[in-house]
Amino acid sequence: MRITSVNDRALVRLISETHHKPPVLRGLVDSDEEAAILAEIEGETSARLIAEAQGSPELDRRELAFARRSHDLTLYGQSHINAAFTYTRPKGNRFNTGDRGAWYCAWDMLTSAQEVGFHRTRELGFIGRYEDEARYVELLADFIGDFPDLHPDLHGEAHAALDPVPERGYPAGQRLAGDLRSEGHRGLIYPSVRHQGGRCFVAFDPGIIQNVRPGASWKLVWQGAPEFTVEGL
């Protein structure tokens, strides 16, 4: 597998708008003291807060993004980075298991939209109703480093991890990611399975995600069919 150097700004990750708004519990209290009490209660069940405090079997808390000293500044995006590694699907995704998350992003918004839209479409298919609107916000981040690259050579065959069927591609991708992490690699470049010509990146290590900031907002719309449109907000 070839190694590709990356020094790029503003790779795009799309997250649900509901995960980008201020905490909904804040409106239930009248003071910072009451907010702290609610936060403590939330911390008993929040995978992110538990991992930040205690770690988890597959994630050392020292890997996460947080202010290490009392006088450190709290930077935008810390909670979003940590959430990506602590909230996972039970069976994982293409390059992570259910025990440890990862930061998935792409070099352009349309590729990210097709990637997240695929999963939303599958969920709508399970209930047999393709009528929905989903709002997303861009999280932009910068990356520098040398990373394995799954893009095939001119006459090469696609890796099994790039199988578009999740039941086949995900197990292969999770095995590959585990091998790469054990070799010390902190991320992986790969071609999008959902957007032809799109280029994606997955960060295995929270420490390589730099300068997270919000970008534009978008709406994905389904109107009776699996195909969806992407609209700016």
pLDDT at position 229 is 97
Instruction: Tell me what pLDDT residue 67 has.
Output: 46
User: Rounded to an integer, what distance in angstroms lies between the CA atom of residue 189 and that of residue 182?
Assistant: 17
pLDDT of residue 71: 46
For Cα atoms 104, 92, 149, give the angle at the middle one, nearest 5 degrees.
45
Sign of torsion over alpha carbons 42, 45, 50, 53: positive
Label residue 156 by pLDDT band (50, 70, 90).
confident
Mean pLDDT over each residue of the chain, to the nearest integer: 85
Mean pLDDT across 76-104: 90
Mean pLDDT of 119-133: 95
What letter represents residue 149's amino acid? D
pLDDT at 101 over 60: yes
Residue 141, class by beta-carbon neighbours within 10 Å (0-12 exposed, 13-18 middle, 19+ buried)? buried
Percentage of the chain lying above the pLDDT 70 cut: 75
Residue 23 has pLDDT above 70, yes or no: no
Question: What confidence tier does 70 reach under pLDDT thresholds 50, 70, 90?
Answer: very low
Domain boundaries, the chain: 2-232
